[in-house]
Amino acid sequence: MINQFKTLNPVNLLLLFAYTFFMRIAILTNPPERLNFEFLEPYTKFLVQIPMGNDFSTLSNVMIAGILIYIQALIFNRIVNNHALLAKPSFLPALLYITSASLFEPFLILSPTLICNFLLIMIMDKLLKIGKSPNAIMIMFDVGIFIALGTLIYFPFVMMLLLIWLSLLLYRAFSWREWVSGLIGFLSIIFFLAIFYYWNDNLGMFYNIWLPLKNKFPSVFKIQYNDYLVLVPVTVMMVLAMIQLRENFFRSFISTRKAFQMLFFMFLIAILSFYTKPAFKLYHFLLCVPPGSVLLAYYFSNATKRWFYESLFLILVFAIQFFLFV
């Protein structure tokens, strides 16, 4: 299966679409009674009302989520190929994106993080461009706006502000205008939110929005290990990918090295930002899918022993389906 997607054959578009819903067989055959989709944070609903959420049936919810994942995978695939992050252009990024976005049942339904991933993919594209741009001020401004919009949908997305400055450290010499422009882009959206709260005599409520940033990072985790056994083959693939990346690291273009370092920071921030959400849910880790999928695609793009990488991928697919059904 991996070998099929190592080329840019147009037939793979149809195969990817079928594969997207194949990975959703478990939830389609045994759907939950009710799925609630909260599109916006409560502080944003005070500003605007969007008639979404409980209006979707379970089937509609899962089908729309599948279509959105498919669209994201194609956009993501184009970006990875355009920036030459892999050995050659292929449909592997899209395949691994869809696979990673099917790991857990909460990934298969509509969620705020699913919507935010559109913004995260665009942010990834923007940040991969700053090393080639003579001036990154407008790029960072746009990234700041994307992060602000993502924060209106899902609050932990605000932590991606750190990615702006980490990326600038990686790619560019210090320029205070570039460092400030991302923050200005973010505040240009948040400013209008603050004005709305001021007009409605609710500045105290606006202040409360940011209190989760003061949360202490938990020192004790209650983990049901059986729920995460599906991550074992993923972890094996990521270790193999890092070994492969380490072997090729200094033989790669400087821009490629910096790109993977930036994606590592994105992955790390996506994981650690969960502490800013008091009512934390598993779908939070859907934010890890874009940067994680690049690393997985990198391994399969460079792997040479077909019997091994094909078997490893089939084990992952089988494990996902098994744990979704069981």
Distance, CA of 52 to CA of 45 (rounded, Å) = 11
Q: 309-320 as b/e, with b when 16 or more CB fall inside 10 Å?
A: bbebbeebbebb
Q: Return all residues near 212 (Cβ < 8 A) that are at least 6 apart.
A: 155, 276, 277, 278
Helix axes 161-171, 254-272, angle to 10 degrees: 160
H/E stretch holding 101 reads none
Q: Which two tokens stand for residue 256?
A: 């490629």
Distance, CA of 128 to CA of 258 (rounded, Å) = 9
pLDDT of residue 19: 93
Whole-model pTM over 0.75:
yes
Q: List pLDDT tens digits, range 255-309.
A: 778 888 999 999 999 999 888 887 778 888 999 999 999 999 998 888 888 888 8
% of the chain with per-residue pLDDT over 90:
42
Q: List pLDDT tens digits, range 109-159.
A: 888 999 999 999 999 999 998 878 888 899 999 999 999 999 999 999 999
Domain boundaries, the chain: 3-325
pLDDT classification of 250: cutoffs 50, 70, 90: low
Distances (CA, A) of 201 to 3, 134, 210: 60, 44, 17
